[in-house]
Amino acid sequence: MKVGIIANPHKAGAANTIHALTTLLAKYQIEVELENDSANIIQSSSPYSATDLAKRCDVLAVLGGDGTMLNAAHRIGPTDTPMAGINIGTLGFLTSCTDDELHLFAEALVEQSFKVVPRILLQTTISYANGNTESDFAVNEITLTRGQTGRLISIDAYIDGALLNHYHADGLIVATPTGSTAYSLAAGGPLLSPIAKAFVVTPICPHSLTNRSLVLDESSVVELVSADPTECPSFYSIDGREVIELPADARIEVKKADHQLHLLRLKDRSYFSTLRQKLHWG
């Protein structure tokens, strides 16, 4: 087995965790390769990008937190290689274990006592009035929010070509089951099982209290357009990463992506135990 390591260079303790994990895996005769930026953390070198590692390795160990996992997923792109998140700190929603549990991760690899859980992703395509298009994918959500004026934005949402609603709100979120515990939850959206074949549309602070989140079948196609082409540009982001200014005449199409994110789960660990811990349920 070969394990690729991708670490967050901005996380305190990243270097120590890299050293500890590589030393531990070596004891089990598991080969390790580092992504080039991660190698720099320990004053080493590597010719491999994150995408290269996904092609060369059987498992990717991502050291950081949920944000690091999101960033790594986008850097790698479509892949079937499972990702194991090792949180430097407390356990996250996407991570498999903490940096205090590296021995459990190593033992799971040796004993093949882990499972790989696929998560659906969203493909988003922006169509501009000049005919240009931009496509990307989201692990958590795509977000359309009001611009710098502070005024509410007006959004017409269509599902499979049929008008769903005219939203007058601070914005709108289209989230995966994975993203249902992120921004969508903070905006009042429902929790979805991570393997649910669905995604959710959640308005942000809508003007009408009757506007609620809507859970859609994974085969649905969502289209978002400005209801008022004279409005100021809105802001658009994917997984809370780069925020771009979107002209009022742009159209956004969101549907299930053709590829999935494959997360490694340790034996006897479940999404629901993490949910219970993170939300401080009884």
CA distance 221 to 30: 43
Provide the 3-class DSSP secondary structure of residue 274: helix
Contacts 24+ apart (CB under 8 A), 12-20: 12/88, 13/88, 13/99, 14/41, 14/63, 14/64, 14/88, 15/41, 15/42, 17/63, 17/86, 17/88, 17/99, 17/102, 18/42, 18/63, 20/99, 20/102
Q: Is 67 annotated as a binding residue?
A: yes
- The phi, psi pair for 19, rounded to 5°, reads -60, -45
Q: Does 35 count as an annotated binding residue?
A: no
Q: Is 43 exposed, middle or buried (0-12, 13-18, 19+ CB in 10 A)?
A: exposed
DSSP string, 94-129: SEEEEGGGHHHHHHHHHHT-EEEEEEEEEEEEEE-T
Strand order in the sheet with 234-238: 214-217, 198-204, 171-175, 141-145, 234-238, 243-246
On whether 262 is known to bind a ligand per the annotation, the reply is no
Residue 49: how many CB atoms within 10 A of its CB? 15
Active-site option among 66, 80, 100, 156: 66
245 is in an annotated binding site: no
Closest by CA position to 181, among listed 274, 265, 246: 274
265 is in an annotated binding site: no
8 Å CB contact between 187 and 204: yes
Is 140 annotated as ligand-binding? yes
Residue 107 counted as an annotated binding residue? no
Q: Is 66 annotated as catalytic?
A: yes
Binding-site residues for NAD(+), in ranges, read 66-67, 140-141, 151, 168, 170
Catalytic annotation, residues: 66
Binding-site residues, in ranges, read 66-67, 140-141, 151, 168, 170
